[in-house]
Structure 1
Amino acid sequence: MHLYLHIPFCKQACHYCDFHFSTHLKSKADLVTAICQEIELQKDYLPARTLETIYFGGGTPSLLTESELGQIFEAIHRIYQVESDVEITLEANPDDITREKIAELKPFINRLSIGIQSFHEPYLRFMNRAHNAVESEQCVKLAQDSGFENLTIDLIYGMSERLLGIHKSSQDSDEQLWQRDLEMAVALNTPHISAYNLTIEPQTALGNWLKKGKIKPVEEELSARQFEQMISYLNTNGYEQYEISNFARNGHYARHNSSYWKRRPYLGVGPSAHSFNGASRQYNIANNALYIKSIQEENLPFESEILTAFDQVNDYLLTSLRTIWGCDLGVIKEISGIDLLEIQKPYLAAFFENEWIHMSDNVLFLTPKGKLFADRIASDLFLV
């Protein structure tokens, strides 16, 4: 079983982020107590009581104090058994990573996910990140020097000083700036790198600026070039692209995230957290005050959705095709009774002809060319 905990607090709002969070920290203690209560209230959501992975996401979980982490883990251990080799990940911002903070975290977690996003100062300022370029580099070294070997960092590509209206900081091209980020990530010797294309969501500062014409849309051609540039460079330097946005050295896959891609059941606690038990999904309310109030009244504040066989197949298509494990047609047949090769014959024929996919042992895989069209391929194959 897998447990996700959403910690919905940040020091400041990043201009690209549309996740649920609050910059008002006064309710943090009450919310931690509510999360502990929800762990108790949700104890029967999944039949298994042994945790393989625990993931603190957000928001900014590194804002949790040592005592707050202790409170949460006390609740976890009261309800669940924890495997001896459990993966426990906590997301952190570089400006939170100090020697003292690491000492607080080490008794609780064994994997640190650092939201660097860029090593380029103008991009960090544009995104309204709370850290600077020097901290981007120093925080990784500090974590490693303190004994954290299992690290992952987040990067964002598809950015352009020209498109974002940033004053040109150098004569370097967009690709050269991205190359410098990649080289720094590799030089830091992090075993895992997650890299995401910049997406401008409507309910964000970037979305508002785009609407007002202050910035230009992200160019698909630029993103595609930087995506291929990233794959080539990271592969050359020993990283395996085991999911479209995730690269690992020496098998350092993210076990928690891999469970999502493999349709494993998981429980999500905290405001806006999602849960999946194989047959349904549920979504906690994305409102801190209402979440706390409801939990205090011993009510679970969620909406649920019963997944049809087609829903389950479509979810599986969307996630599995992005991974090195591919989309097992036998799983689709087991879920729905449908032979996808027959039902989606015209689409699949075109994808094979375009060399976007290939098949081995009844499993569909994206080709390097096909990875550029992953979402389109999945949606074309959806059952409706």
Structure 2
Amino acid sequence: MSGIYIHIPFCKQACHYCDFHFSTSTKKKAQLVEMLCKELEIRKDELGEDSIETIYFGGGTPSLLTSEELDLIFKTIFRYYEVSENAEITLEANPDDLSEAVIKMLDASPVNRLSIGVQSFFEADLKLMNRAHNAEEALQSLKLAKQYFDNISIDLIYGIPGLTNEQWKENLKIALDLDIPHISSYALTVEPKTALEKFIEKGKVKPVADEQYREQFDILVSSLTSKGFEHYEFSNYGKPGYHSQNNMAYWLGKPYLGIGPSAHSYDGNFRKWNISNNSLYIHSIEAGNLPQQSEQLSNTDSYNEFVMTRLRTKFGVSATDLGNKFGDKFKLHFLKESKKFIEDGLMEIRQETFHITTKGKFLSDGIAADLFYIE
């Protein structure tokens, strides 16, 4: 199986924490959509004869696409690619875009899963992050979406400056009361060169203490798992039958095609990434050139990625798989370096597979980094 990721690099306004590639000007949107379709055509043979199991519209804000633009992209995909009958087709949406007319339009399209960027149900949080929607729009968009879509995911952010543990619990309660079947939840990260970083540097926003991140993560895990959600990846929680197939494919190392400015692709051996500039992307594709760079992954790179992604998931790292995929050198390195984490109760072995324990979950990325093989 393979997947297609389509990057829609437009937003109404810039969130204060975001460092993704986007533009707040939509003047070139129609032209860029045409170039997305042309890139899909140019690269139609890259995935071989693999069927497409997942299609994901990310961004940016894909819910800014018109029905005509979305239809053009789908017609191109179905013309040049073999799409599975049961493919998961996700579109990221902002609450302020999801009027009933837009939701009906999406329901009539091949989209069968919505990922809605709620982030918080509290007005103060949304203003601090400079989100385009308000708390009422967040609630109403979900109530409307549930009338047309069964498979809905929402994003929620913890570790927001000023967000108390009690407010965080209330955010989760609202989502649970709405019976949302999938929740992706991330700690608010202060990325370089963002407005949030500048606010903290100038003392306008107080940074969040590490203990609060940990406390709110623990609240998140206990609140959702007690209500039947499986914590199947560090930042993702789903009820049975509602796990993100798109994200699972990334973590399991399956090939995918990244279309659009700044989009990344992976075929098992190479990573490719498109230029993060809308105008240069348009001009290159118009001329029939792919504006991308690539790198071939070494065996060490592949091992490190395998450890990083698998330890974040419910699958864990199989010692047998390590030996079969990468050889005894890497397997023995992993077995040796993991001993200290097992002794500290941060990792455990179940049926020859290494997993991060509940105690170690919040530290999973750091644990994985310590298990990397450094040439």
TM-score (normalizing by structure 2): 0.97
Amino acid in structure 2 at the alignment position of 1:198: L
Q: Which segment is superposed worse, 41-50 or 185-194? A: 41-50
Check whether the contact 2:317–2:354 (CA below 8 A) recurs between aligned residues.
yes
The alignment partner of 1:91 has SS state of: strand
Within-5 A mapping of 1:244-255: 244-255=234-245
**Identical aligned residues as a percent:** 48
For 1:21-73, what per-residue CA distance to the aligned partner results, in whole angstroms no more than 9, with x for missing partners?
00000000010000000001111222234210100000000000000001001
- Residues 1:81 and 1:346: Cα distance change in structure 2 (over 3 Å): closer
Task: Specify the alignment match of 1:271 in structure 2.
Answer: 261
Cα distance between partner residues in 1 of 2:297 and 2:206: 38
- Mean CA deviation greater in 371-380 or 43-52: 43-52
42-51 vs 300-309, greater mean Cα deviation: 42-51
Q: Which residue of 2 aligns with 1:118?
A: 120
Q: For 1:17, give the aligned amino acid.
A: C
Structure 1 partner of 2:7:
6
What's 1:164 paired with?
none
Report the secondary structure of 1:40's partner residue: helix
Using the alignment, how far apart are the partners of 1:378 and 1:299 within structure 2?
38
Aligned residues: CA RMSD: 1.2
Match for residue 152 of structure 1?
153
Q: What residue number does 1:105 align with?
A: 106
Q: Which residue of 2 aligns with 1:381?
A: 371
Residue of structure 2 aligned with 1:331, choices 315, 321, 325: 321
Matches within 5 A, 1:58-137: 58-106=59-107, 107-137=109-139
Instruction: Provide the rounded CA distance (Å) in 1 between the counterparts of 2:328 and 2:217.
Output: 34
Does residue 216 (structure 1) correspond to residue 206 (structure 2)? The answer is yes
Taking the aligned partners of 2:230 and 2:324, their CA distance within structure 1 comes to: 30
Q: What SS is found at the alignment partner of 2:85?
A: strand
In the alignment, the residues of structure 2 paired with residue 67 and residue 296 of structure 1 have an alpha-carbon distance, to the nearest angstrom, of 20
Q: CA deviation at 1:326?
A: 1.0
| Aligned amino acid, residue 365 of structure 1 | H
Q: CA deviation at 1:335?
A: 2.9
Q: Match for residue 20 of structure 2?
A: 19
In terms of mean alpha carbon deviation, does 111-120 or 355-364 score higher? 355-364
CA–CA distance in 2 between the matches of 1:270 and 1:330?
38
| Unpaired runs of at least 5, structure 1 | 162-172
Q: Distance in 2 between matches of 1:256 and 1:149?
A: 17
Deviation of the 1:178 alpha carbon:
0.2
Match of 1:205 in 2: 195
**2-structure distance, mates of 1:68, 1:381:** 45
Equivalent in the alignment of 1:169? none
- 2:41 is matched with which residue? 40
The separation in 1 between residues aligned to 2:294 and 2:152, in whole angstroms, is 34
- Whether the 8 Å contact between 1:69 and 1:108 is mirrored in structure 2 is no
Q: Name the CA distance, whole Å, in 2 between partners of 1:121 and 1:128.
A: 10
Displacement of 1:210 after TM fit?
2.1
Matching residue within 295, 298, 310 for 1:308: 298
Residues 130-151 of structure 1 show CA distances to partners (whole Å, capped at 9, x for unaligned) of 1111111111110112x20100
Partners of 2:300 and 2:330 lie apart in 1 by 11
CA displacement at 1:345 relative to structure 2 = 4.5
Q: Any gaps of 5 or more consecutive residues in structure 2?
A: none
Partner of 1:192: 182
Inter-partner Cα distance in structure 2 for 1:211 and 1:78: 51
Instruction: State the match for 1:235 in structure 2.
Output: 225
Deviation at 1:213, TM superposition (A): 2.8
Residues 199 and 218 of structure 1 are in contact (CA less than 8 Å); yes or no, is this contact kept in structure 2?
A: no
C-alpha spacing 1:341/1:351, structure 2 compared with 1 (3 Å): farther
Q: Bigger CA drift: 270-279 or 335-344? A: 335-344
Partner of 2:248: 258
Query: Does the Cα contact within 8 Å between 2:307 and 2:317 map onto a contact in 1?
Result: yes
Q: Which moved more, 1:323-332 or 1:199-208?
A: 323-332
Moved over 6 A (4+): none
Q: Which one-letter code corresponds to 2:299 in the other structure?
A: A
- Deviations along 1:261-307, whole A, 9 cap, x unmatched? 00001100000000000001001000000000000000000010110
Whole-angstrom CA distance in 2 between matches of 1:300 and 1:328: 38
Match of 2:361 in 1: 371
Partners of 2:334 and 2:252 lie apart in 1 by 22
8 Å CA contact 1:294, 1:301 repeated in 2 = yes
What corresponds to 1:165 in structure 2? none
Distance 2:253 2:337 in 1: 24
Q: For 2:339 and 2:82, how far apart are their aligned partners in 1?
A: 48
Could you report, residue by residue, the CA deviation over 1:135-186 in whole angstroms, capped at 9, with x for unpaired residues? 11111110112x201000000001231xxxxxxxxxxx71001000000010
Amino acid corresponding to residue 295 of structure 1 in structure 2: I
Q: Tell me how far apart the structure 1 counterparts of residues 194 and 215 of structure 2 sit (CA, whole Å).
A: 26
Aligned length: 372
Q: Distance in 2 between matches of 1:335 and 1:143?
A: 43
The answer (yes or no) to whether the contact 2:161–2:205 under 8 Å persists in 1 is no
Give, in whole Å, the separation in 1 of the partners of 2:307 and 2:264: 19
Q: 2: CA distance between counterparts of 1:49 and 1:37?
A: 20
Mapped to 2, the partners of 1:285 and 1:331 lie a distance apart of 35
Corresponding residue SS for 1:365: strand
Distance 1:346 1:329 in 2: 12
Is contact 2:161–2:207 with CA below 8 Å preserved after alignment? no
In structure 2, what is the equivalent of residue 168 of structure 1? none
